[in-house]
Each structure stands twice: as structure tokens, then as C-alpha cells.
Structure 1
Amino acid sequence: MLSLRAVNHYYGSQHTLWNVDLELKPGQCTGVMGGQGMGKTTLVNCITGHLPVASGSMTWQEAGAAPYDLMPLSAQSRSAIGIGYVPQDKRIFSQLSVEENLHIALAAGGEPASAFAGEIYDLFPELYALRQSKGITLTADDQYQLALARALITRPRLLILDEPSRVGGQRFLHKLGDLLVRLNRDIGLTILIAEQHLPFIRRVADRFCLLHCGRNVAQGDVMQLDAPLLAKWMTPDPAR
């Protein structure tokens, strides 16, 4: 589905991603692990088209089709081909209602306003109860649910989440984990999660990529995330 080879990125003169390789196969849930400031969000933004790639390749392939170069596509074009993104800052329309937020997401994807709304409210019953409420009045947890619903209502082929553990507490994270497991294992949605909260990744992901100072230092089955590997490359997050 998505293949990255020797991807490099710079912020000005600062080299932030160093020859990163990543392979996402259909139906997998992959966790991009790493401590704070190790390149997780930068990598995610390169994939979504919000940051430029200095060198390397990024290839997208849909079922039954030939692979093609993703890098010339804008962030909007990448969304249109099926890359859904939920950033840390959620990016909802705070002065619009829940329902209006969802309708705008559908319109951007070229779908009628009524399409898939019932399915989304089945996944997020709290949002149905809040559908006339403005985004600014929602709790942080509900705002994240709305951001996730906006991404899912376009029926993405790949869903990318950036550090969801920083949104809410353990109750929120457990509920989100249940939903992601359902989307991945029952529906077959491919998911990429940039995250440093290890228990969450172990619960929802089946593959991992470990970044340290912008370098991919390890990857494989999530069960290979053992204590020696983590002690070598991960700085514990005291807030978790």
C-alpha cells in the first residue's frame, strides 16, 4: 500500500529524518514509536504531504493497480486518494456544529451530505447526541472523536493518527483502542499511529517502526518490542 525508501527531511539546515524506510501493507496496524522529538510527527507530515521530502521515494499502491509516486501530490490530493489524518491539534471547525463539521468533510471528498453519516454515528454515539453542538463547546475527548469521525467519514484506505495518547486519560485511550482494534481487525482498515505510549501500541498494533533522532533504528513485529530494545532507544515518558 505505502512504501518509503531512504526518506530524508530537513528543517532549514537541521537534518530531521535520515534515510527512513517504512513498509505499510493493507490491513496492518503499524506503530511509529520513539521518544519526544525523535521524528514521529515529522515522518507523519511527510507522508500526508504537509512537509516536503528532501530525498528518497514514497510509493502508493491501490489494490489491483500499479504503484505510483506519492511525492508530487499535495496534501489535499493525498487525502482524496484515501489517506486520512488525525493530527494532535485535531483541526476541527470550532464555530461549526458537529454535524456541519462532518458535512464539510464529506463535501471535500465529493460525497453528498447524508452519505455515511449513519455509519459514523454508529461508531460515535456520543457525537450523535452532540450533533448540534459547536466544536468549541466539546470536551477535548469529544473534539478528538469529531476529528477522527471527520477522517473516517471519507472512507480512507489508510488512517494516520499522531500521538492520540496526548489527548486524554486512560479511559479515553482504552475506548479509542477498542475502536481502532475494531476498525483494523474487523473492517480491515490500514492504520499508522505515531505514538510513544507503549501499552497502547502493544494493544492495537501488529507492526512497529522505532525512530531515534530521525533514524529508523528497529522495526518488526510488535512483540519484538522487548525491554532491552526499549531501554536502548526509548526515553521513558514520565507523564505516562
Structure 2
Amino acid sequence: MLDITGLNQYYGGSHILNHVNLSLAEGELVCLLGRNGVGKTTLMRAIMGMVNVRSGDIQFDGTQITRQATEQRARAGIGYVPQGREIFPLLTVEENLKLALAGRRDGLRKIPAQIYDLFPVLLEMKHRRGGDLSGGQQQQLAIGRALVLDPKILLLDEPTEGIQPNIVHEIGQVLRRLNRELGLGVLLVEQKLPFARQVADRFAIMERGHIQATGAMGDLNEELVQKYLTV
């Protein structure tokens, strides 16, 4: 579904992504792990076309998208929930969700009922401004907004950061439901190992802009954790 081969990206003279190879199969949930500053967010932004890459290929659903605009990638079926959520604080919940309808491939012009089924709090608060929601509610709104696009895969950058535990649990349940019941592929950047182990099928560890280890989540052993993830 998503295949990244030999991806290189620079900020000035700094080599941020270093020959990155990563794949996400259809219906798979992969967690991208690594310490802060190793290039995880840059990789997510590169997949979405929000930063330019020097070389390498990104293929999605059999199509080369390396030079496509962000809007084209979203319309092709890549949903993205950025770190920090980036909702529109002065717009209502409903307005935030409706903005995403413009990117749907099928021309639908109303919010799918599934969004409110997954996140009932968004229905309860649909007339409240996004900026008035709690951090956890804003995260649910950000995920719901990405799902409005009816994506084939979903990219989430640290969705549990700064979120209260009960909402973290709810987000985990939603991701498992989307992945296991609906077959949605998910690439997840996450720092919380218990959450990653709970939801993911497979892991990839990034260090200094390079993928150092991959495997089934059950194979993420203490040696790898100590070498690449402990601070």
C-alpha cells in the first residue's frame, strides 16, 4: 500500500532522512519509534509532501507520489493527523469536520455518520469552537477530520502526547477498530511503548534519520528498547 525506498531529505546541510526504507501493507498498523529529533515527524511530513526530499521514492497504492502536491496525496487516500493537532480553534467542531469534505474523492458533502459513531463527544460538542475543547477532545477532532476524507491509510504523529489516560484508551480502541474491522492501514509515530504494544502489528525504529530495526511488535525486545529508545 505504501512503499518508501531510499528516501533522503536535508535541512540545510543536515541530513535528516538517510536512505529511509519503510513499507506499510494494506490493513497493517505499523508504529514508528525513536527518540526525539531522529526524523520521525520529518518522515511523516515527507510522505504527505509537506517537505521536499532530495532523492528516493514514495509509492502509494501502486502510484509514484514522490513529487505530488499534498492535496493530491490527500485526495488519493492518505489521511494525516499532525503532531499538535492543528485544528482551527475559532471554528466549531462541525465546521472543522466539514472543511475536510472538500478533499473527498466521492464528492460527499455531509459529515459521515461514522465519525460521530467513533467519537460521540464530537456530536455532543459539534457547535462548540475547537479551541474550547480539551486536549483529548481536540485530538479526537483531529483524527475525525482526517477520517472525513475516507482515507485508505492514516498517518498519526504522536496522537497520545499530552492526552489524559482515558482518552488515550479511547483512541487506542478507535485505532484497533478502524484497523481490524475496516482494514484501514495506519502508520503511527508514538513515544508511549505500552500504547504502541497495545495497538500495533509491527514496529520500525528510527535513529539518526535511518530505519535501524523492524519486526513484529512481539519481537520488540529489551535490547532494542535500551539501545534505541531509552533516554
1:200 matched to 2:195: yes
CA separation in 2, counterparts of 1:41 and 1:8? Answer: 14
Which residue does the alignment assign to 1:31?
Answer: 31
**For the Cα contact (< 8 Å) 2:104–2:150, is it kept in 1?**
no
Aligned with 1:231: secondary structure?
Answer: helix
Which residue does the alignment assign to 2:71?
Answer: 76
**For the Cα contact (< 8 Å) 2:97–2:111, is it kept in 1?**
no
- Runs of 5+ consecutive residues of structure 1 not aligned to the other structure: 62-66
Task: Write the deviation string for residues 2-59 of structure 1: whole angstroms up to 9, x where unpaired.
Answer: 1111111101110011111001100000001001111110111111111111111111
> What letter is aligned with 1:113?
R
Which residue does the alignment assign to 2:110?
Answer: 114
CA separation in 2, counterparts of 1:5 and 1:48? Answer: 15
Task: Write the deviation string for residues 144-172 of structure 1: whole angstroms up to 9, x where unpaired.
Answer: 11111100011100100001121313222
CA separation in 1, counterparts of 2:149 and 2:207? Answer: 33
1:17 matched to 2:10: no
> What letter is aligned with 1:214?
G
Runs of 4+ in 1 over 6 A off after TM superposition: none
> What letter is aligned with 1:56?
G
Q: CA deviation at 1:232?
A: 1.1
Which residue does the alignment assign to 1:138?
Answer: 133
Where do 1:77-226 residues align within 5 Å? 77-109=72-104, 111-116=107-112, 118-226=113-221
Percent identical pairs in the alignment equals 40
Aligned with 1:165: secondary structure?
Answer: coil
Q: Tell me the TM-score normalized by structure 1.
A: 0.92
**For the Cα contact (< 8 Å) 1:40–1:195, is it kept in 2?**
no
> What letter is aligned with 2:117?
D
Q: CA deviation at 1:101?
A: 1.2
- Runs of 5+ consecutive residues of structure 2 not aligned to the other structure: none
CA separation in 2, counterparts of 1:113 and 1:93? Answer: 19
CA separation in 2, counterparts of 1:175 and 1:60? Answer: 29
Aligned residues: 230
1:228 matched to 2:219: no
Q: CA deviation at 1:115?
A: 4.6
Which residue does the alignment assign to 1:64?
Answer: none
Where do 1:38-77 residues align within 5 Å? 38-61=38-61, 67-77=62-72
Q: Tell me the TM-score normalized by structure 2.
A: 0.96
**For the Cα contact (< 8 Å) 2:71–2:103, is it kept in 1?**
no
> What letter is aligned with 1:114?
K
